[in-house]
A and B are shown apart, each in its own frame.
Chain A
Amino acid sequence: MSVLSVEGVSYRYPDGTEALRGVSFDIEDGACVGLVGPNGAGKTTLVSVLAGFFEPSAGSVAVGGVRMGASTLAEVRARVGFVFADPDDQLFMPTVLEDVCFGPLAGGASPEEAKGRALELLNALGIGALASKFPGHLSAGQKRLATLAGVLVQSPRLLVLDEPTAFLDPFARRDTLSRLKGLSQARLLVTHDLEAVVELCSLVLLLDEGRVVARGTPASVLGDVALMSAHRLERPHILSHGHPHS
């Protein structure tokens, strides 16, 4: 069954820019789908539509069979975890632990339950020792893991990750990727990090000028040099070596 189903979604900004023009795709339970495209392709706009910030001017979005709308927004959001590009926008509580507990507490969990779940996750992500720290003091990689914990703690069925490897050094990037790889939830990975897409995703969508212009396995889409350069992208090195850089 598909967790996310996007059908014919269009979005036009108030200034008239047509950022999305009839985008359709599905994500199956547990699958990892990559969304790539040059700057201005409409990726961030699509994420904003999925998060319910923007209402599509045409088409529909359904999560776990529930169609997104004003009356179902809270229900839909509870099933999707969003990790936004800038962790500083996302971490807003005074300590890491409180930030991770925010979602469960807002959802009605008891403090003990929220704390237990949060600590378990922080430990699993290897940042249990940072629980009482001020989020602003963490490194970029630690912030990324903290935002991930804050989202995973709500047991979403789908994760939407906008540039999860941005600002990370090679070690933190590798660490984040291997943790994302180990997740059982469906994932939509929106990124310019094409090597990460090759490693994690079974399906890739290539977005340009608000349309899905190609879809298929990473090898078939990202490996197509002509297609890639026609959309101002480059074929990732990993595809020519056949193995990831280690």
Chain B
Amino acid sequence: MSRSAARELDLQGYRDSAAHRLDPRAKLVATAVFLVCVVSFPKREVLGLVPYLALPLAMGALGRVGFRPVARLVLAASPFAVLAAAANPFLDRQPAAVILGVAVSGGVLSFASVVLRYVLCSSALLVVVAVTTVPGIVRALGRLGLPRPLGAQLMMLHRYLFLLEDEGERLSRARALREPLRKRATLGTARRMLSSLLWRSFERGDRVYQCMKVRGFDGSFPALSPGAFRTSDAVFLVGVSTACVALRTLALRVAS
């Protein structure tokens, strides 16, 4: 079985590249500006959103982030976005624009807009994780004012999610080896495996926590080198934010 896309992305954070070396705070704030700009567009906007694809693409290229794990994760959650927007084309049938000679209704435009926004926001967030690591992001949040207990909770949650995945993978391998002729577990087996999975993850989580405690864990994850905010970080932050805001105001002009 191949590593899950989530794990693959998580591990990419430990590589080294120009994107990885940027201060996590700069990446976080720039991403926040990006998200606010993307979300603030009018509901039928499509064309104005397209240039924003450049940020996740450029960031991904700079950090040599694999395209596939990002695409797989974006796709995995896409049914929610599609479902949320699916009714639009039926509710709003007024023609709102003419594209390549075809009249397009407002509903279709807003449907496309929601889906595009979803792709933009989710891929930007995933790429930031892939060039920063979750602990890096949590620490940056801490330095930006996130309360310490909340940060520790996020760190633990991140670790436990992968413990859960580990245990799940072990269980499903064990089942597959003992039932080679059956591709999928029967419902009854799956139910019992699930309860076993929760119990095992709970015990493993407890062991990990105990190991942390004997080494002096008191709720905080001390950072080795807090890292200074360098000129390159400032240039990145100002550059990206300016570009995002400019694209947003430019689109306003075109519309009016």
- On A, residues with C-beta under 8 Å from B are 51-53, 74, 77-78, 80, 82, 84, 86, 89-90, 92-95, 97-98, 101-103, 105-107, 111, 114-115, 133-134, 136-137, 150-151, 154
Chain B contacts of A114 at CB under 8 A? 224
Within 8 A of A (CB), among B186-230: 204, 207-208, 210-218, 220-226
Contact of B14 with A by CB under 8 A: yes
Given A89-B204, A101-B224; A107-B216 close (CB under 8 Å): yes
Q: Which residue of B lies closest to A107 (CB)?
A: B216
Count of chain A to chain B residue pairs whose CB atoms are closer than 8 Å in the complex: 68
Asked if residues A111 and B225 are in contact (CB atoms below 8 Å), the reply is yes
Chain B contacts of A111 at CB under 8 A? 222-226
Q: Mark B1-23, 1 if CB is under 8 A from A, else 0.
A: 00000000001011000000000
Query: B2 to nearest A CB, angstroms?
Result: 16
From the candidates B211, B218, B222, B226, name the one contacting A92 in the complex (CB within 8 A).
B211
Given A84-B211, A89-B204, A89-B208; A106-B11 close (CB under 8 Å): no
Contact of B159 with A by CB under 8 A: yes
Q: Which residue of B lies closest to A48 (CB)?
A: B210
Chain B contacts of A90 at CB under 8 A? 211
Contact of B135 with A by CB under 8 A: yes
Asked if residues B222 and A102 are in contact (CB atoms below 8 Å), the reply is yes
Query: A150 to nearest B CB, angstroms?
Result: 7
Asked if residues A52 and B14 are in contact (CB atoms below 8 Å), the reply is no
Contact of B133 with A by CB under 8 A: yes
Asked if residues B207 and A89 are in contact (CB atoms below 8 Å), the reply is yes
Task: Identify 24 residue pairs between A and B in the complex whose beta-carbon atoms are under 8 Å apart, listed by A's number.
Answer: A51-B210, A51-B214, A53-B210, A77-B213, A89-B211, A93-B221, A94-B14, A94-B135, A94-B136, A97-B224, A102-B217, A103-B215, A103-B216, A105-B222, A105-B224, A106-B215, A106-B218, A106-B220, A106-B222, A111-B224, A111-B225, A115-B225, A134-B11, A137-B11
CA distance A103 to B215 in the complex (A): 5
- On B, residues with C-beta under 8 Å from A are 11, 13-14, 133, 135-136, 159, 204, 207-208, 210-218, 220-226
Query: B68 to nearest A CB, angstroms?
Result: 20
Would you call the interface of chain A mostly helix, strand, loop, or mixed?
Answer: helix
Query: A2 to nearest B CB, angstroms?
Result: 21
Chain B contacts of A98 at CB under 8 A? 224
CA distance A102 to B208 in the complex (A): 14
Given A92-B159, A101-B224; A106-B216 close (CB under 8 Å): yes
Chain A contacts of B225 at CB under 8 A? 111, 115
CA distance A150 to B11 in the complex (A): 22
Chain A contacts of B215 at CB under 8 A? 102-103, 106, 150-151, 154
Q: Which residue of B lies closest to A76 (CB)?
A: B214
Given A89-B207, A105-B222, A114-B224; A94-B133 close (CB under 8 Å): yes
Asked if residues B224 and A77 are in contact (CB atoms below 8 Å), the reply is no
Given A98-B224, A101-B224, A115-B224; A92-B214 close (CB under 8 Å): no
Chain A contacts of B159 at CB under 8 A? 92
Asked if residues B216 and A78 are in contact (CB atoms below 8 Å), the reply is yes
Q: Which residue of A lies closest to B206 (CB)?
A: A53
Between A94, A98, A107, A150, the greatest number of chain B beta carbons within 10 A of the residue's beta carbon is seen for: A94
CA distance A154 to B216 in the complex (A): 10
Q: A89-B204, A89-B207 are in contact. List 13 more A-B contacts (CB 8 A).
A: A78-B216, A82-B211, A90-B211, A93-B221, A94-B133, A98-B224, A101-B224, A103-B216, A106-B217, A115-B224, A133-B14, A134-B11, A136-B11
Query: B203 to nearest A CB, angstroms?
Result: 11
Asked if residues A92 and B212 are in contact (CB atoms below 8 Å), the reply is yes
From the candidates A52, A105, A137, name the one contacting B214 in the complex (CB within 8 A).
A52
CA distance A151 to B216 in the complex (A): 11
Chain A contacts of B135 at CB under 8 A? 93-94
Query: B116 to nearest A CB, angstroms?
Result: 33
Query: B123 to nearest A CB, angstroms?
Result: 23
Query: B154 to nearest A CB, angstroms?
Result: 13
CA distance A78 to B213 in the complex (A): 11
Chain B contacts of A89 at CB under 8 A? 204, 207-208, 211
